[in-house]
């Protein structure tokens, strides 16, 4: 049984891009200015995209974003001041890059391309990013009104998150 | 069809929970913001779920076409929201171009125009469908099989040669008979008698002689034509091609004789024996074409003979036009039996392609000569029993074979015909 050539064709560039993405993540762990970090993360994001397209696998595309994500988390942990807007930007870039990779895979593997469908996907991506920016900006603006963190509050919010997750999973598995 | 979560759903759920838990336990809201787009995607995707038990209907229009004409296959998917992907496969397993469309109002329609179907009956009701719900979190996949037959007829034959039968029925038709009556073909002259039509007077002859003379004509009559198709499978690479040509020629000849007001029937003698009773009219042509489109070769070693065919499928003394490569003993035996019963038989022989003589070893050449000698003997035996045969060579128009057959039929007489 031989491997699907469509899935193995881009393994070498994909592996190279993963190595570079990991190296970028390590590099940004060294204390540096925000500009350098942002540039590094954009580079890592692009390489992630290349990786995803090269391997032609949605799961690999998702896993390959881990270096970018971990780099961002590392930077957040090390930052002296709040980098909320920066994190929001990276999050949106991460999402858009992954969506583009998936869309590219759909076109190349399944030979599907309809302009109307591509336009709808673009609208969906834009709407997700727009809604995210609006809600997150509003939440950040209202953060000064947030109550002080206590154990009780943390438990309550965790419970809410878990309840919402359980509800979402139940709704998904209903059909 | 069954729904399945896509990669988007997996990433959304994992990122959302990881972001929420990470932000809660570390106190860094930035971690939550990093995963915020995935959370929003999850929320929007769940809020826009409207697909429930999609229903698919496949139609093909028109259901009956000629080779080269376009058939439009339409798949309507009901109860769906999002993007619908579909791939149609024909009965030969060939996939048509995958299509995608959007469904906003609960119904999506995919259309495939197909114009390269070979003749035959095709089932275009095999659809591989995938529905991607809005925001792509959930996908429905499934295969729908709904019988959607499309009959593709061969191109109408343009043969001009019409084989004339040795015997005719009493009904009016297009074949000249021996009897005198209303017709086109000149038969004789006789003196004018009161009551003769003025248009029958032969003015040229009358001008040269005393009195009036009228032309007598052979009356035009119809006949019963039975098309006998040999579908016994033979070994060889060109068996399918040979058989396809025979089917096409059968359709052409059937169309010609139905146009000549003959009653036409079909008997397929082979692995499966089937028949269409002889009847006149255009409807009969459709019946014959339908039977031919369902025809295929079956490898069968059983001794099939004419006893399995009911008498009404082979009316007595009917005109039998056989299409055969004359390679199967059972079919050849059937021809002799029919000739002995008094049927008027003509055989269009489509000889199988042999290996090029240049490429043959001496032993093969000897074998080939023996085989050809056997075939010549067979043709002579058939001719002796009143059965004319004419070869229909590869690449020739069927008219050439029909013209040759007409010529050879003037040299033979079936049993009971003077």
Q: Report, as an integer, the average pLDDT of B55-59.
A: 89
Rg, Å, chain B Cα set: 33
Please name which of B332, B6, B342 lies closest in space to residue A99, comparing C-alpha atoms: B6
Q: Report, as an integer, the average pLDDT of B361-387.
A: 89
Are the Cβ atoms of A128 and B35 closer than 8 angstroms? no
- The residue count of chain A comes to 175
Q: Does A17 touch chain B (CB under 8 A)?
A: no
Alpha-carbon gap, residue B234 to A150, rounded angstroms: 88
Alpha-carbon gap, residue B323 to B61, rounded angstroms: 33
In the predicted structure, residue B297 carries a pLDDT above the cut 60: no
Among chain B residues, the shortest Cα distance to A162 is held by B17
Q: pLDDT value at position A6?
A: 46
Q: How confident is the model at residue B37 (pLDDT cuts 50, 70, 90)?
A: very high
Write out pLDDT tens, residues B315-339. Answer: 888 899 998 888 888 889 889 988 8
Are the Cβ atoms of B37 and A129 closer than 8 angstroms? yes
The alpha carbon of B190 is separated from its chain's Cα centroid by a whole number of angstroms, namely 50
Q: pLDDT value at position A134?
A: 93
In the predicted structure, residue B71 carries a pLDDT above the cut 80: yes
Q: Does A89 touch chain B (CB under 8 A)?
A: no
DSSP state of B258: H
Q: pLDDT value at position B105?
A: 65
Among chain A residues, the shortest Cα distance to B3 is held by A175
Contact between B387 and B347 under an 8 Å Cβ cutoff? The reply is yes
Highest-confidence range of A146-155, B31-40, B304-313, by mean pLDDT?
Answer: B31-40
Are the Cβ atoms of B24 and A72 closer than 8 angstroms? no
Alpha-carbon gap, residue B311 to B377, rounded angstroms: 30
In the predicted structure, residue A60 carries a pLDDT above the cut 70: no
Among chain B residues, the shortest Cα distance to A170 is held by B46
Q: Does A156 touch chain B (CB under 8 A)?
A: no
* Average pLDDT for chain B: 82
In the predicted structure, residue B355 carries a pLDDT above the cut 50: yes
Q: Does A92 touch chain B (CB under 8 A)?
A: yes
Are the Cβ atoms of B36 and A88 closer than 8 angstroms? yes
Alpha-carbon gap, residue A140 to A86, rounded angstroms: 12
Contacts of B30 in chain A (CB under 8 A): 76, 79, 82-84, 86-87
Alpha-carbon gap, residue B11 to A173, rounded angstroms: 16
Please name which of A24, A138, A31, A40 lies closest in space to residue A90, comparing C-alpha atoms: A40
In the predicted structure, residue B389 carries a pLDDT above the cut 60: yes
**Closest approach of B117 to chain A, Cα-based (Å):** 23
Q: pLDDT value at position A24?
A: 60
Contacts of B26 in chain A (CB under 8 A): 77
Write out pLDDT tens, residues B215-268. Answer: 988 877 778 889 998 877 665 545 556 667 777 788 888 888 888 888 889 888
For A70, phi then psi, to 5°, come to: -65, -35
**Closest approach of A22 to chain B, Cα-based (Å):** 18
For B178, phi then psi, to 5°, come to: -75, -25
Contacts of B17 in chain A (CB under 8 A): 161, 165
Q: pLDDT value at position B281?
A: 84
Coil, helix or strand at residue B289: helix
Are the Cβ atoms of A90 and B135 closer than 8 angstroms? no
**Closest approach of B363 to chain A, Cα-based (Å):** 44
Beta B99-103 vs B82-89: how paired, if at all?
antiparallel
Mutate to test the interface with A, among B12, B13, B37 (most CBs of A within 10 A): B37
């Amino acid at each position: 049984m031989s491997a699907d050539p469509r899935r193995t064709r881009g393994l070498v560039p994909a592996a190279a891009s993963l190595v570079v993405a990991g190296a970028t993540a390590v590099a940004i762990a060294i204390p540096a200015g925000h500009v350098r970090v942002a540039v590094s993360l954009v580079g890592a994001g692009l390489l992630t995209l290349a990786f995803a397209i090269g391997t032609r696998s949605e799961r690999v595309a998702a896993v390959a974003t881990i270096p970018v994500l971990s780099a961002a988390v590392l930077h957040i942990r090390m930052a002296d001041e709040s980098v909320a807007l920066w994190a929001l930007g990276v999050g949106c870039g991460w999402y858009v890059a992954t969506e583009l990779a998936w869309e590219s895979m759909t076109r190349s593997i399944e030979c599907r391309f309809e302009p109307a469908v591509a336009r709808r996907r673009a609208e969906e991506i834009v709407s997700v990013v727009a809604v995210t920016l609006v809600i997150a900006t509003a939440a950040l603006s209202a953060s000064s009104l947030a109550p002080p963190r206590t154990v009780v509050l943390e438990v309550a919010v965790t419970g809410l998150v878990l309840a919402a997750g359980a509800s979402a999973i139940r709704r998904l598995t209903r059909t | 069809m069954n729904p399945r979560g896509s990669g988007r759903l997996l990433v959304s759920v994992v990122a959302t929970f990881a972001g929420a838990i990470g932000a809660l336990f570390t106190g860094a809201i930035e971690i939550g913001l990093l995963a915020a787009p995935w959370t929003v995607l999850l929320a929007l995707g769940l809020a826009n779920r409207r697909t429930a038990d999609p229903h698919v209907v496949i139609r093909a229009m028109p259901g009956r076409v000629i080779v080269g004409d376009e058939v439009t296959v339409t798949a309507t998917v009901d109860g769906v929201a999002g993007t619908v992907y579909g791939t149609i496969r024909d009965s030969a397993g060939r996939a048509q171009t995958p299509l995608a469309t959007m469904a906003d109002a609960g119904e999506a329609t995919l259309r495939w125009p197909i114009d390269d179907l070979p003749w035959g009956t095709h089932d275009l009701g095999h659809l591989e469908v995938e529905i991607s719900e809005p925001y792509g979190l959930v996908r429905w996949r499934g295969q729908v099989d709904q019988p959607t037959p499309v009959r593709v007829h061969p191109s109408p034959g343009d043969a001009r040669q019409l084989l004339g039968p040795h015997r005719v029925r009493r009904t009016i038709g297009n074949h000249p008979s021996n009897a005198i009556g209303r017709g086109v073909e000149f038969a004789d002259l006789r003196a004018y008698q009161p009551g003769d039509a003025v248009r029958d007077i032969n003015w040229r002859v009358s001008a040269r002689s005393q009195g009036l003379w009228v032309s007598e004509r052979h009356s035009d009559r119809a006949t019963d034509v039975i098309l006998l198709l040999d579908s016994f499978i033979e070994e060889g690479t060109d068996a399918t091609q040979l058989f396809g040509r025979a089917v096409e020629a059968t359709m052409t000849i059937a169309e010609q004789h139905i146009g000549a007001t003959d009653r036409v029937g079909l008997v397929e003698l082979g692995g499966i024996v089937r028949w269409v009773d002889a009847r006149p009219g255009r409807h009969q042509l459709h019946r014959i074409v339908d039977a031919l489109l369902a025809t295929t070769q079956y490898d069968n070693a059983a001794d099939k003979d004419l006893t399995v065919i009911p008498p009404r499928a082979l009316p007595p003394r009917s005109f039998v036009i056989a299409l055969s490569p004359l390679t199967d003993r059972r079919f050849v035996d059937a021809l002799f039996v029919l000739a002995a019963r008094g049927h008027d038989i003509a055989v269009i022989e489509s000889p199988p392609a042999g290996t090029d003589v240049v490429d043959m070893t001496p032993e093969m050449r000897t074998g080939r000569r023996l085989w050809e000698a056997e075939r010549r003997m067979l043709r002579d035996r058939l001719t002796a029993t009143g059965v004319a045969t004419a070869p229909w060579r590869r690449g020739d128009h069927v008219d050439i074979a029909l013209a040759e057959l007409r010529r050879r039929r003037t040299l033979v007489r079936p049993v009971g015909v003077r």
